[in-house]
A = this chain, B = another copy of it.
Amino acid sequence: MSDENTLLALEGIKALFAIEEIKKLRARYFRCVDTKDWEGFAAVFAPDAVFDISDDVPGCILTGGDAIARAAGEPLTGCVSVHHGHGHEIDLTSETTATGICAMEDILRWSPDSERPNMTLHGYGHYVDSYEKIDGRWLIKTMKLKRLRVDIGTAG
């Protein structure tokens, strides 16, 4: 009886840590984009990760952490970006897999001498994710950005 309860407790704790680790993973994703830490950014993804940004770029589905990092990093050259995410709804589907949704906002401003001179983008939406635990670390497996709204303009 007590043994069963103990195992139940350890199970519960493992689940709670998984949820916390996935939230940290997601926070690292956002922070690495904005600090242009592309190595750290690539490291949040599973090797075969899929990022569906077809709401932003029609038909665009990126595959693999390195490819996602390159594709995300290139257009952000000369851009100060702010990416925020919160409001996590995480569901553990097994000991090593999980799904999640979070609200997001991105605020981008390109410099006058960039390829998008003075362009601004202010967007809102949700990330619909799946995660996988590989070699003891939670990673982003799939990610779809569903937009509520995107405003594109030019800085004063």
Contact = CB atoms under 8 A, between A and B. Distances in A.
A80 B148 contact: yes
Interface stretch (A23-31, A69-77, A136-144): A23-31
Q: Counting chain B CB atoms within 10 Å of each CB, which of A8, A82, A90, A102 scores highest?
A: A82
Contact of A28 (B31, B82, B89, B105): B89
B31 A89 contact: yes
A113 to B, nearest CB: 17
Nearest to A84: B103
A82 B124 contact: yes
B2 A109 contact: no
Interface stretch (A12-20, A48-56, A59-67): A12-20
B87 A34 contact: no
Interface of A: 2-3, 5-10, 12-13, 16-17, 19-20, 23-24, 26-28, 30-31, 34-35, 80-82, 84-90, 101-103, 105, 107, 109, 124, 126, 148-149
